[in-house]
Each structure stands twice: as structure tokens, then as C-alpha cells.
Structure 1
Amino acid sequence: MRRSENSVVVLGGAAGAWGDSSFALPQLLDSERCDYIFLDALAEITMAILARARQKDPALGYATDIISMIGRELPRIVQQGLRIVTNAGGVHPRAAANVLRGMATEAGVEIRIACVEGDDLMDRLDELSDLDLAEMSDGEPLVTGPLSFNAYLGARPIAAALGAGADLVITGRCVDSALALGPLLHEFGWGLEDFDLLSQGSLAGHLLECGPQATGGLLTDWRDVASWHDIGYPIAECRADGSFVLTKAEGTGGLVDVRGAAEQLLYEIGDPGAYLLPDVTCDWRHVELRQVEVDRVEVKGAIGRPPPATLKACAQVVDGFKVTALLMIGGREAAAKAARLGSELTTRAARLLERDGHPPLRNVDVEVLGAESTYGPHARTTHSREVVIKISMHHDERRALSAIVRELGSFAMAVTGLSAGGRGLPKPTPLIQLRSYLIPRDRFAPTIHLDGASIPYLEPSPAAPVARPADSKLGHEPIPVDELIEVPLVALAHARSGDKGPDANIGVRARHRDFLPLLRNQLTTRVVADWFAHRARGRVERYELPGIDALNFVLRDALGGGGISSLRFDAQGKAYAQQLLDMPVRIPRAWLAHAALPALPSRRS
């Protein structure tokens, strides 16, 4: 039954990834506020882990920890009459559903469990090879022999499962925000072409999908956050008009304010005017965020257009092996010793491979943590007396890497102050490449099973895509004529960064609207590209979000291959925003008295 225009549907986000806190779901249940709780389990690297688990044991392939956490709470879930939606089914949703049915029987509770399938493309490789698919980043053809191959489904199968009476819906791969949009479609009856509502509902999911990142987690101004050990998990109070209030359970740690909501809106997006999802093309450039009470932010203003004619699908491909060693060096000139160790070990590895008849290393990456090597030419600390050297290597043969690793111990007798911390030798693991493709959506037919019975479902045909509206001509407003002084960017802005495959994004929001013209003027794509020249190999794009006084930068090919294949320590660009916030900008001296300008951090902080 469709809810009334004035009713509110309360969503809770209890997991931002496989491995999130076991306190999250109990916390939201303790609040007794939620109509739905969803748990997001899947990241790119998770799919590879789950696929390998299923290869070893056909009964596995789902996010075991999250399924177990749900199972432990089934009595309270049933008692409160709320519903659960999760993509913890991974590459085997039906197995996850069967496990939960068994746990429900053991707990003596009755609950209807549905699973959504149709995202797994492993049995359709021959069919898809006829489509001449091109990889999204480099145009290469469809891979052969992937470890897994899954498409991102949308929210409508979830809504259909709920409409059929499911109390708990388990999916495989779907876009994260669909876990929230599905319940809203079911509750409010939003239509196929209610694009603004679909965009707003997707935004609610986008803000909640990473758990406490919307409630004080990752906040630039981290000292303002009450606590992390008891951080509140996010709640969205959603209305039929699409607007919602972002909040958290009372009495929990964390912080819900406009800063955190804006940073999370910017997290891991590309073009904010064309954020492509299976159900809608979102335009979040003019979203409005308003602090209505303590720990309560109202969110509205999202715009939507028809979704794309394709769905994104990602394949995980084994490409040789990698190994990473972490060694601590203490004492005077520790950073210099570490840099030399990296060079010496790489040289010995080359000698060993040549001696034993192996091909050379395909790639090697050395970073000295504690000496700011990830900052490249912007490093300020080179005299630390304790550092950790990270050495990562890529080779086609596991045994070649194992032979190199066995040489590590000898360097403990060569480098003063070197320690492995009591750990054993690192073991080579498969290096997984992510390959992404766009596949015509008419090639997909999601299926729904409710307590073992098939539920009729036909994926609707969306409206034809329409062109992206042009950006508003904002121009470059003149900067006040005054003596200019240099301050770090963090004085004028806060920021958050993330990854999308091989690319990184950095969202930068002005602390006050007065500062935005200066940021537009000084944070050009050329300036940002130069700042990250030691990390990014591709172009830099800039997008504007005037609704929240923000800029979003997309750095192409900036992660050494991306989270599951990169040899870098920060393989997902998590620290990129913090590095950009150290960049100097020039402001009028008079702005030092501006109320929005925080106390300036020292250059050493």
C-alpha cells in the first residue's frame, strides 16, 4: 500500500562495507526508530574475495560476517516488525538466504526471505563476447577467464521482492544506493519516470551507504567529532516528496552536520550533473543542505533524468601475483636508510630473478611511511627517526616472489635499526585487475525467489536518455583587491576523497560562500594536476556544485591501477583530500578576520 504524502519512512544504514562494526546493527535496533535497515557489504575487492571463497567451497561466496550478524538479531528484527535489505549475498545470494533460513528456524522465528539474482554474468561470457564490449578505461576487449563478472542492478527488483511480502531481501551485486531506493519505491510507489524523486531517494542511499562516514566519520574537522568508539550510524527520515533528514541514534557519538553531509555527497562521485545509476541519472549540482537541529540535516533539491541505456558490469581477473613487505627502521637517518634499502632490495631481486631464470619484476613500488613519500615533492618531513618501508612487487610467478621474500631476512643483518616486528615472511597473493564494461540493459533479466518460490518479475523499459543540461555560467568573480597572504587550502575549505576503479575523486567544499570565487580562480585543473603529478598519470576534470558551494575533481589513472590491483599503500586515494588541503592558496589579508576562517594549522600539523 502506498504511504500518504505526509508519512515518513525511516531508513538506517548498518554497514558501509564487509568488516564494518558488529555494534552497528544492534545500535540501530536499540534506537527502535527504523522501518528498514540496510547493510552494504560489497566493494570491488570484496567481489574478488567472495569469488575465490566460492571456488574453494561452493557453499560460500557471500559476506559471512554480515549474514551472521543479521542472523543473531533475527528475533529483535521480527519483534520490531522492521525489514532488512542487504547485498551481502555477494556472488551466492541463494546460499546466504538458506543460511539465514536455518538461523531463523534455530531461533524459532518466522521470517520471509527473498533473494535477487541476475547480476552474475559468468555463465554468459560466450554470449557477451559477441557484443564487442570495450573496457571503460582503456578500450580493451572483453577479458577471458575472469574470476567473477557481475553487473550493477538497480532498486526495482528489491522493491518487487518487498511488494511480494519479503521481510528480508538479499541481493548480489547492485548499486549501493539501491539498497535504500528499493524500500522507498515500495513504500511511496514512485513511478518509473519520477526522476527527481528517484534521484532524491538515491541520494539518501548514497549518504547512508558508507555507514558512519555520514555521521562524523572521515570529517576533515575531526576534532569536532565527539567520539569514534561509539559513533552513531546514519538514519534518514524520508518523505514522499523525496526530501529527507539525515540524523543518527540519540546518545551515540559522531556528528551530523552540513560539513559531513556535504563531504559524503562528494565522496566517490564523478560528474555530479550526470551520476549514472540503473534507475536514474542523478543531478546533484543544486542539492541543498540545511542544519535544522543538532545532529539533523535536511537534504533536498536533487534532480533526475532517465537512466542510461546500459548497465555497468565489472570483471575481476587474476594477473599474476603480488607481495608486500613492511619493515620498521628506527634511529638517526631512518628515512635515508629506508630509501637505500628499497633500492638495494630491488637490485637484489633483479639479480635473483636473472640467476634463477625468471622474467624481471613487472612492477615494484617502494614507499617510506613516516617520511611523507606519498606527498612526493610536497613532503616536509625527511628527518624522522622511525619509519616503515613498504615494498610491493608484482610478478607472473608466485615462486619468484617467494624467493625474493626469503632474501628479506638477510637485510636485518645489514641495515641498522631494521625490524620486522616479529611477523613471519609475507606470502604472495593473486593480483586482481578490475575490468569494467557497459552492457545494454535489455540483456539483463533479474530473478526473485521468495522462500524458494519464483516471483514473477519483468524489468521495466526506462525512458530514452536525455542530454545533460549545461552547467550554469558562474564565471570568475573578482577577488577583493588587498594585500595577499598565503594560507593552506584547509583554511578555506574541507574535503573528502575516494576511488572509482583506477580513478580518484576529491570533493572540495568552501567553508563559506565568500570563499568560493577564490577557490574557482585558484583551484584549476592545471593546478590540481601539477600538485598530484607524482601520483596521477591521466587528465584532471573539475565539476561545480553551486548548491553546496563545492568543486569536485576527478583524477584519471591516479591510483596505480586501483584498489584491488595497485601496489601503493593508499590504493584508494583516501588521503588525497588531506594532501590537497595542504596546498597553499593566496587570500586577502582582511580575510584573516572572517568568522568562517578557522585557526590556521601550523605547517608541521
Structure 2
Amino acid sequence: MAETLRIGGACGFWGEAPHATAQLLAGGVDVLVYDYLAEITMSLLARAKARDPGAGYAPDFVTDAVTPNLIEIAKSGVKLLSNAGGMNPAACANAVRAAIDAAGLSLRVAVVEGDDLMSRAEEYAGVSEMFSGAAMPQRDKIASMNAYLGALPVVAALRAGANIVITGRCADSALTLAACMWRFDWGPGSYDLLAAGSLAGHLLECGPQATGGNFTDWEAAGDLARIGYPIAEVAEDGSILLTKPQGTTGTVTRASVCEQMLYEIGDPRAYLLPDVICDFSRVVLLQAGPDRVSLTGARGRPPTGQLKVCATYQDGYRGGMVFQMNGRNAGRKARAFAQAGLDRARARLRDMGAPDFTETALEAFGGHPGQGDYQEIAFKAAVRHPDARAVGLFLKELTGTALATPPGLHFFTGAGRPKPTPVVALFSFLIEAADITCRVTLDEDELAFAPGLPSPPRETLEPAPQPPAPETGGEQATVPLEQLAWARSGDKGDSASIGVIARHPDALPRIWAGLSAEVIAQLFEPELRGEVQRYYLPGSHAMNIVMTQVLGGGGIASLRNDPQGKSFAQRLLSLSIAVPASLIHRMEGVAE
């Protein structure tokens, strides 16, 4: 039987539940990977480091993941790879070493540095944002500037004997890829294998999202409190089998795993990573047993030779509140209340000679119709302004209007009036990989490290595949898309993507035809400012939809109720699609 490497995905974001490490250790793994970082997380860690030079990392890795499990980690020989170092990998490593010493153990800790470019920010003052073309913000507004590193520095640390490797910013999947390259001695030019290792990392990087979390058919996951975290069994030939610890809840099916494969990848034929350009369009997923899914067919090409850099910067302030309204014409009453607060605040700004708000958002969501004209609705009112005092003025006037409101206003709060918060915006750009100097240390000893930087050949891709023409003729039926497909959505900056997987292969041509760019644009017309792109994945009978300029800036920069597009898939699944009645009959009895 071919050797396999069992890698557990123990963390998908800073703040996730702390029990995954113990669960995966009990389930039997060789390596644990932890992804703590998002773009906004970097800005938060940068501010923490500015206040305390010993801070700036994710302390949960030390207190929740490592310290309670150190004896089992040492006993089993499991390797731990984590980007918990954030803005201060060395301080994170020192905290881990202190915990190891306190436990009377001997484990070697390595640190990867070089992603933090704040000291070189002036060098990049003239670059443009890679998506919007905007100019680089002023230096005094920038909170963080980090390049996405690849797998090779982590491989060097593992080859030198590290038990625990702590990095700053790296590609989310790079930790898993590094483990595979170390164990199987994959070279930096074995691009198909690198793509497979990156696919395994992409499946693990969001924790239980591959095992029933955030899944369209979420009922199949059972008791979410006991959901199992993912384990990728990777073979030397790059084949992957995804599973979870026995005795846990959740579900591992072609659908749950494919939702995660499509999550936030953009063009599936050109998923750009520091070490490889991945093509997941022809990946085939097969149910290999209960809670076991095999994946084969990932392909890779040479990397671009460039690295993505994400800077975060302060872009004014925002503030708002969510309140409820009920009764007759609840939506109209809620908007009248919010507009009154906004009008009062604007009048005060004019009296002071201050500029107007740069952006406002009055947004209704939810709603429960009752008997007759009775309704219940939630409503959000929010503003942005360069000056925190102007935002505070709006919040004061909004709450101060509460006695002059239409009837039915109510809300829950335990901390008084909301307060203005800084807007942290994202600025992304590309640099040459050769511009980065990585430093790898193992227990304070610096390791010799010289990553290879291949010159990618010019390649001409074949035309993008297109699905076959849909069936025509016969009796037609109109059904919700959810009856035909699974879907999941996510974000990249101000863009949103929705992966759609056909429940039956024969349904994909109809789904593709029904979800035209025009139909999608119309559905998201209130938000969409950019374009709609569609990509076909013949291997998984799926499509990926990418919408640009649809999230109001995205993340903390957005005033939207859903600034990361997490609910977009649910909106799409509510659309009706016309299909042959014979297809519905073929789909009956097909289960995942």
C-alpha cells in the first residue's frame, strides 16, 4: 500500500473553537495545520504589536492549541504548522517555547519571516491597486503590508528537524503543501504534484467547511456541536482522500468536499499561488466509502514569479445600528425612522460647515408577515465619514430620534449607544518574488535558505471548456435551483464567488443555461457594480461564478449587511430553473 500522509485541518480563522487539536490528535494524524489569518486580522495584529512589542500574533495558538496538548504532541511526534505568527512570528515562537519548557519537554520550534514589508513601504509608494487601479494610501495610514509567502521556507524548516513551524503571512494552502513536499520530497518543479498538495491544503484551510459546515444540505451534518474536522490523506502520487475522525458528526460527501474545493478560487483553471498555478477544473471526486471522498486530477503550471501583497490601511470611520420594527408597513416605518436620524445628522454637519457622509446604507432584511398588514422586520442604518465625530453624531441623532419614531421600534443592546469604529480597507498589489528575502530560524539558529525562482515559460491555454448543450423538447418543469444543485459563496476583497455543483451530471447544462451572466446580474443588481464571469468545471460537473465590485468594498470597508457575500449562494439557490421533467425523474433517488 502506498505511503500516505495524514494531515488535519485544525483551524480556519482566528477565534475558531479550540477543541479541534485534541480531536484530530485522537483521530490519528501526522501533521496539523492551522490557518489564523485574514487580511483584516493582519491589521488587528499590527495594532496590537504597536501597543505592545511582544504582541501581534494569535495567542489562541499558544493557549488553546499547543499548551493543553503538548504531552500528546510530543508523544505522537505530530508536526504543527501554523501562520499564527501574524505580525510577530518570533514572539509567538518564544511563547510556544516557554510552554514547552514549562512542560519539561524537548520540541524544536522554527520561525519563517520575510513577509512583513512595512519597513519597505516607501519602495512601493507608486504602485497601483491590482483590482481598482487606485493609488497607494499615504504611509501614515497603512497598518500592515505583507506578502503571501509559499511553501519552500516551511519545507526547509521541516527538513532541518523542526517539530513546530510558525510563519507570518503565507498562502493559506502553503502549510499543507509544505508538509507534502517534505514527506514525499516533491521538487519545486513537480507542478502537478504541487497543485495536488495545494488542493489538499485548500480543502483543509477552512476547518469543518469540508465536513458539513456551511453546507447546502446542512441537515445531513447532524449535531454541529460535535462536527469532525477534516483529515486529508495525501499519497506520494498526489491523490487525496478526505475524511474526518471516527465518532464525530458532520458529513464528508462529494458535495460537501466540492463546495469547499470551489470556495473562493476564482478561475478554476488559474488559481494563482506562490509555488504553482493550479487547475482544478478537471478534478474528479468519488465517494470512496462512508465519510471518505477521493480527489484526483489536479494539474499545475509554473508560478508567475510574482507574489501578492496585501496592505491594510485606515480609511475613515463607520458606525451604525440594527433595530427591529413591527406593525403595519413595518418596512416603511423603519426607513422613515432611519431617514429622520440621517436628516438630523446632516443638518448638524451643514451647520458646522462639515462635509457630508461619504457613504450611507439604509438596508432592510428579514421580515415576518403576520395576519393582515402586520409585519416584523430588521433594519440597518449605517454611515461612513473621514471623521469619527461625524459618525458619532449620526449615531447620537439616530438614537435620539427614538421617541419621535413611528410605533413598533425595538432593539436589543447592553452597551448603550453604538460607537464609531475605524474602517480598515484592503490594498492589494503584486511584486517580484525575487524582491523578498525569507529568514528561517530553528531554535534561534538561522538556516541556509535559497528558494528557487523558476522563470515561467510562456503558455497558451486551450480554450476554456464549455458544457454540452442542454436537452430540449419533452415536458418541462420549473424547480428551485436548490433542487438541482449545491452552492457556496465567499469573497476576495470586493469580489464575490459562488460555486455551483450539479446534483446530477445531466443537470449541469440546464443550470449553465439558466444561470446566464444576465440572469445573475439581474439577481444581484442592487449590489453589483462590476461584471459577471462564469467558469465550467467538467471534472466535478460544476460551475464557478465570479462577480466583481459587488461587496461595497468588502470586509470592514463595507457598510453592507453581508460584506463578504456569504449569503449570496442562498439567494442564487432560490432562483427557478426550467428543466425536462424526465431529468427530475432521473434525479429521484440520487443521494449524496
* The two structures share one fold, judged by TM-score above 0.5: yes
Aligned residue in 2 for 1:491 = 483
Deviation at 1:80, TM superposition (A): 1.3
CA distance in structure 1 between the aligned counterparts of 2:373 and 2:581, rounded to whole angstroms: 33
> What is the SS of the residue equivalent to 2:556?
coil
Say if 1:323 and 1:473 are closer, same or farther in 2 by CA, change over 3 A.
closer
CA distance in structure 1 between the aligned counterparts of 2:180 and 2:165, rounded to whole angstroms: 14
Aligned residue in 2 for 1:402 = 392
Say if 1:597 and 1:527 are closer, same or farther in 2 by CA, change over 3 A.
farther
CA distance in structure 1 between the aligned counterparts of 2:22 and 2:147, rounded to whole angstroms: 31
CA distance in structure 1 between the aligned counterparts of 2:446 and 2:229, rounded to whole angstroms: 34
Deviation at 1:481, TM superposition (A): 0.2
Please tell me whether residue 47 in structure 1 is matched to residue 47 in structure 2: no
Say if 1:54 and 1:472 are closer, same or farther in 2 by CA, change over 3 A.
closer
Aligned residue in 2 for 1:520 = 512
The residue identity in structure 2 corresponding to 1:190 is W
Q: Deviations over 1:261-287 (max 9, x none)?
A: 111011001110010000000001100
CA distance in structure 2 between the aligned counterparts of 1:225 and 1:362, rounded to whole angstroms: 43
The residue identity in structure 1 corresponding to 2:456 is A
Q: How does 1:317-336 map to 2 (within 5 A)?
A: 317-336=313-332
CA distance in structure 2 between the aligned counterparts of 1:245 and 1:384, rounded to whole angstroms: 52
CA distance in structure 2 between the aligned counterparts of 1:538 and 1:90, rounded to whole angstroms: 32
Q: Which shifted more, 6-15 or 135-144?
A: 135-144
Deviation at 1:478, TM superposition (A): 4.1
Q: Deviations over 1:136-192 (max 9, x none)?
A: 112223333211000000001011111111100000000000010011111100011
CA distance in structure 2 between the aligned counterparts of 1:306 and 1:94, rounded to whole angstroms: 31
Q: How does 1:303-452 map to 2 (within 5 A)?
A: 303-371=299-367, 385-415=375-405, 416-423=407-414, 424-452=416-444
CA distance in structure 2 between the aligned counterparts of 1:336 and 1:296, rounded to whole angstroms: 51
CA distance in structure 2 between the aligned counterparts of 1:403 and 1:54, rounded to whole angstroms: 31
Please tell me whether residue 99 in structure 1 is matched to residue 90 in structure 2: no
Please tell me whether residue 68 in structure 1 is matched to residue 60 in structure 2: no
CA distance in structure 2 between the aligned counterparts of 1:388 and 1:128, rounded to whole angstroms: 44
CA contact (8 A) 2:465 2:536 kept: no
Please tell me whether residue 547 in structure 1 is matched to residue 539 in structure 2: yes
Q: How does 1:208-223 map to 2 (within 5 A)?
A: 208-223=204-219
Q: Please, which runs of 5 or more residues in structure 2 have no aligned partner? A: none
CA contact (8 A) 2:342 2:394 kept: no
Say if 1:389 and 1:478 are closer, same or farther in 2 by CA, change over 3 A.
closer
CA distance in structure 2 between the aligned counterparts of 1:125 and 1:384, rounded to whole angstroms: 56
Please tell me whether residue 141 in structure 1 is matched to residue 135 in structure 2: yes
Q: Which shifted more, 319-328 or 293-302?
A: 319-328
CA distance in structure 2 between the aligned counterparts of 1:366 and 1:121, rounded to whole angstroms: 38
> What is the SS of the residue equivalent to 1:548?
coil
Aligned residue in 1 for 2:198 = 202
The residue identity in structure 2 corresponding to 1:8 is T
Q: Which shifted more, 418-427 or 473-482?
A: 473-482
Say if 1:275 and 1:6 are closer, same or farther in 2 by CA, change over 3 A.
same
CA distance in structure 2 between the aligned counterparts of 1:234 and 1:147, rounded to whole angstroms: 34
> What is the SS of the residue equivalent to 2:324?
strand
CA distance in structure 2 between the aligned counterparts of 1:274 and 1:295, rounded to whole angstroms: 29
The residue identity in structure 1 corresponding to 2:534 is R
Partner of residue 27 from structure 1, selected from 15, 23, 28: 23
CA distance in structure 2 between the aligned counterparts of 1:380 and 1:43, rounded to whole angstroms: 41
Q: Deviations over 1:338-382 (max 9, x none)?
A: 12222222212211211233210010112222149xxxxxx9999
CA distance in structure 2 between the aligned counterparts of 1:311 and 1:411, rounded to whole angstroms: 50
> What is the SS of the residue equivalent to 2:96?
helix
Say if 1:248 and 1:485 are closer, same or farther in 2 by CA, change over 3 A.
same
CA distance in structure 2 between the aligned counterparts of 1:280 and 1:365, rounded to whole angstroms: 41
CA distance in structure 1 between the aligned counterparts of 2:298 and 2:19, rounded to whole angstroms: 32
CA distance in structure 2 between the aligned counterparts of 1:383 and 1:572, rounded to whole angstroms: 33
CA distance in structure 2 between the aligned counterparts of 1:468 and 1:191, rounded to whole angstroms: 24
CA distance in structure 2 between the aligned counterparts of 1:241 and 1:509, rounded to whole angstroms: 26
CA contact (8 A) 1:560 1:566 kept: yes
Q: Percent identity?
A: 44
Say if 1:125 and 1:494 are closer, same or farther in 2 by CA, change over 3 A.
same
Deviation at 1:597, TM superposition (A): 7.8
CA contact (8 A) 2:258 2:501 kept: yes
CA distance in structure 2 between the aligned counterparts of 1:212 and 1:471, rounded to whole angstroms: 35
Q: Please, which runs of 5 or more residues in structure 1 have no aligned partner? A: 373-378, 600-605
Deviation at 1:475, TM superposition (A): 5.4
Q: Which shifted more, 50-59 or 275-284?
A: 50-59
CA distance in structure 2 between the aligned counterparts of 1:271 and 1:205, rounded to whole angstroms: 18
Q: Deviations over 1:2-24 (max 9, x none)?
A: xxx92111000000100111111
CA distance in structure 1 between the aligned counterparts of 2:120 and 2:490, rounded to whole angstroms: 32
Aligned residue in 2 for 1:302 = 298
CA contact (8 A) 1:134 1:140 kept: yes
CA distance in structure 2 between the aligned counterparts of 1:144 and 1:571, rounded to whole angstroms: 25
Aligned residue in 2 for 1:227 = 223
Say if 1:79 and 1:380 are closer, same or farther in 2 by CA, change over 3 A.
farther
> What is the SS of the residue equivalent to 1:149?
strand
> What is the SS of the residue equivalent to 1:564?
helix
Aligned residue in 1 for 2:51 = 56
Say if 1:94 and 1:261 are closer, same or farther in 2 by CA, change over 3 A.
same
Partner of residue 283 from structure 1, selected from 279, 291, 294: 279
CA contact (8 A) 1:288 1:301 kept: yes
CA contact (8 A) 1:305 1:465 kept: no
Deviation at 1:436, TM superposition (A): 0.3
Deviation at 1:459, TM superposition (A): 1.7
Q: Deviations over 1:474-528 (max 9, x none)?
A: 4542423023232111111111100001100011111111111112222221221
Q: How does 1:120-131 map to 2 (within 5 A)?
A: 120-129=116-125
Q: Which shifted more, 453-462 or 570-579?
A: 453-462
TM-score of the two chains, using structure 2 as the length reference: 0.95
Aligned residue in 2 for 1:602 = none
The alignment covers a number of residue pairs equal to 586
CA contact (8 A) 2:504 2:587 kept: no
Partner of residue 578 from structure 1, selected from 554, 570, 590: 570
The residue identity in structure 2 corresponding to 1:73 is N
Deviation at 1:214, TM superposition (A): 0.2
CA distance in structure 2 between the aligned counterparts of 1:478 and 1:255, rounded to whole angstroms: 31
TM-score of the two chains, using structure 1 as the length reference: 0.93
CA distance in structure 2 between the aligned counterparts of 1:235 and 1:380, rounded to whole angstroms: 47
C-alpha RMSD of matched pairs (Å): 2.0
Q: How does 1:589-604 map to 2 (within 5 A)?
A: 589-596=581-588
Deviation at 1:467, TM superposition (A): 2.4
CA distance in structure 2 between the aligned counterparts of 1:158 and 1:50, rounded to whole angstroms: 22
CA distance in structure 1 between the aligned counterparts of 2:372 and 2:527, rounded to whole angstroms: 19
